[in-house]
Structure 1
Amino acid sequence: MVDHERDFSLLLPIYSGDQSAFLERAFRSCLDDQTLQPAEVVVVQDGPISAELSATMMQLIASSPVPTKLLVLEKNRGLARALDAGLAECSFDVVARMDADDVSLPTRFEKQRAAIAGGFDLVGTAMFEFADDDGSVIGKRIPPQGQEEIARYSRFHDPFNHPTVMYRRSAVAAAGGYIDVGLMEDYWLFARMIDAGARVENLQEALLMYRVSAGAYTRRGGLGQLKAELRLQREFRKLGFTTPLQNVRNVIVRGGYRLVPVAIRRIAYRRFIARGFHS
């Protein structure tokens, strides 16, 4: 593997809700276990964290096999602002995303970096979902493939599994960066990147293990998320990303999803919101 293929940064945000054991596994999976390591890691601490989590983080930074930067935000600013701040600290144009409770599989970066080298600005992958309690695999999310299909799919669904993506920082910046929209800052960014002409692709192989916690479906609902959903759909229309008919459909289906009971939301998420899920 020649050196120029390692010219990418790993961007890893952490906050008070993260757990030390999960962080350590996530970090190690991106460095010790990879067939292609990043050239650097940028850790963004989004607000105060516990002494235990801080100690784990500092140990990981000290033992990292590649240069690792720590950016501390004194107040919790949310994922969108944390990621934007972290991107500004990355030394390389190519950046891989990672959350502090997931697990990257060994060939993830090698395969994504090769795709980026082939001309893409944004490359996601399929991912396995695993249970928070016992670690068992409970499903697989397979995203759409090909520029046209990804663009078509994105009018109703988020076309990328956000924790899996690798992208060009310049393409993210050209689209305006992350903007806080509830839990959908990634969807809004990807829509703007597609609209701006970014070259995008999804690898069909699952290259990340995504942790599903007990509260995953609760967080996706409620009035706050409904307001965020309605705002997102308004922004889509202003951009011309969706047609009037698509907007009505999205407001009814995606908006209604935010208000149904959690048990129904779990089923609806798999069938309608995150299509491509296989159990």
Structure 2
Amino acid sequence: MQHTERRDTLPPFSLLMAVYGGNSLREVERSVQSSTIEQVLPPSQVVIVRDGPVSDDVQRYLDTLPSTMSVWFTAEHPNEPVPDVTIVEFDENHGLAHALNVGLAHCTYDIVARCDCDDVSLPNRFSTILPQFVHRSNAAHTKTESRRPIDVMGSAIREFSGDEDEPGQIRILPAEGDDLERYARMQSPVHHPSVVYRKSAVLDAGGYPEDSGRFEDYMLWERMMLRHAQFLNVPQPLVLYRTNDAAYERRGGKEMFRDELRLQWRFVRDGFTSPWQFVRNVCLRAVYRIIPTSLRQRAYRTLTSRHNTEIGATPTPPEPPHLGRHCATRAAGDTDGAHTPSGADDAR
């Protein structure tokens, strides 16, 4: 199938991102570029929420992005429509959940792809996800299929630290069904930076909870699952997920554990988890939060490797990323101002 045919037969979709003061220009440029001009199937709309003040160079980049996007596509994809660019600006930082809720209100299309401004989308991300997303939704309405339309679809992710060309650990999740339902009672059922979802389904669940600490995504998935939303994960790693030593430090501490304790209490109160699952989760997470950072990193990698083995997936090796002509030179070890990951991914 040619790219033009794929574009003609697939519905348009919006890309939703949030930028805050901790993001560096290199991160923002790389994330936007990888999610738009480098995509085999680029989005039809880009919505970026500036959550409070940002550095002067990031602000200049956001101010000129609509014209920059037009130049990119005119020069390299003249037969492709230029994505509409919507920049929403807050004078003060309100947190990721509020930024995403406001951003959703500005998304024109029902299909929305998420992207964090410190991660990198591989070129085949949307061309891999969207056809499956649409096919599964259409198949659910045929007489031969009893499955409901897919509401949230994610992928495996590959970690990187500093140099995105250096291969890192791949994180795989169960695909769907009972395996994913059981997994969701312990950990987030999808990787937030990799998801494509239906805006209508997210809004039906009340949007991102704004009183959930660092777990706005995990609590949203819980609400959607309780409303019988359908989730699906593909085993291919389609997003490069930025991580470093500071990320492992953020996964520990009393404040993080308090946020998680509040999350687990809401889960059992809502009937999402049983009292036994509540006790199990709290005990395991308490140990994970209080151990030294070096042990936490080692435990995390061991558990992730075990999960990958248990799931039994063999992910397709990701297409090697490339820097591209539109991005500032990437320095090895450039992790300054890394965006704090979403709670469920950061919690592992």
Q: Into which bin does the TM-score normalised by the smaller protein fall?
A: over 0.9
Residues 1:163 and 2:180 aligned together: no
Shift in Å, 1:257: 1.5
Deviations 1:13-51 (A, max 9, x none): 100110111111111111111111111000000000010
Residue pair 2:65, 2:85 contacting (<8 A) in 1 also: no
RMSD (CA atoms): 1.8
- Distance in 2 (alpha carbons) for counterparts of 1:153 and 1:224: 24
Q: Which runs of 5+ in 1 are unaligned?
A: none
Percent identity of equivalent pairs: 40
- Point out the more displaced range, 242-251 or 56-65: 56-65
- Distance in 2 (alpha carbons) for counterparts of 1:183 and 1:275: 25
Quickly say closer, same or farther: Cα 1:236–1:226, change in 2 above 3 A.
Answer: same
Partner of 1:71: 88
Shift in Å, 1:95: 0.3
Partner of 1:250: 281
Partner of 2:315: none
Residues 1:100 and 2:105 aligned together: no
- Aligned AA for 1:256? V
Paired residues for 1:1-279 under 5 Å:
1-3=6-8, 5-64=10-69, 65-117=82-134, 118-119=136-137, 120-132=150-162, 135-180=165-210, 181-272=212-303, 276=307
Quickly say closer, same or farther: Cα 1:268–1:218, change in 2 above 3 A.
Answer: same
Shift in Å, 1:124: 0.3
Residue pair 2:114, 2:193 contacting (<8 A) in 1 also: yes
Higher fraction of strand:
1
Q: Looking at CA atoms only, which structure, 1 or 2, has the larger radius of gyration? A: 2
TM-score, normalised with respect to structure 1: 0.94
Residue pair 1:254, 1:273 contacting (<8 A) in 2 also: no
TM-score, normalised with respect to structure 2: 0.76
Shift in Å, 1:110: 1.7
Q: Which runs of 5+ in 2 are unaligned?
A: 1-5, 70-81, 138-149, 310-348
Shift in Å, 1:218: 1.1
- Point out the more displaced range, 226-235 or 135-144: 135-144
Residue pair 1:31, 1:37 contacting (<8 A) in 2 also: yes
- Point out the more displaced range, 128-137 or 224-233: 128-137
- Distance in 1 (alpha carbons) for counterparts of 2:307 and 2:215: 18
- Larger RCO (CA under 8 A, 6+ residues apart): 2
- Aligned AA for 1:40? Q
Deviations 1:258-277 (A, max 9, x none): 22211121122234479646
Quickly say closer, same or farther: Cα 1:275–1:91, change in 2 above 3 A.
Answer: farther
Residue pair 1:157, 1:273 contacting (<8 A) in 2 also: no
Quickly say closer, same or farther: Cα 1:263–1:166, change in 2 above 3 A.
Answer: same
Deviations 1:198-241 (A, max 9, x none): 11100110111111133111111111111101000010001101
- Distance in 2 (alpha carbons) for counterparts of 1:178 and 1:238: 18
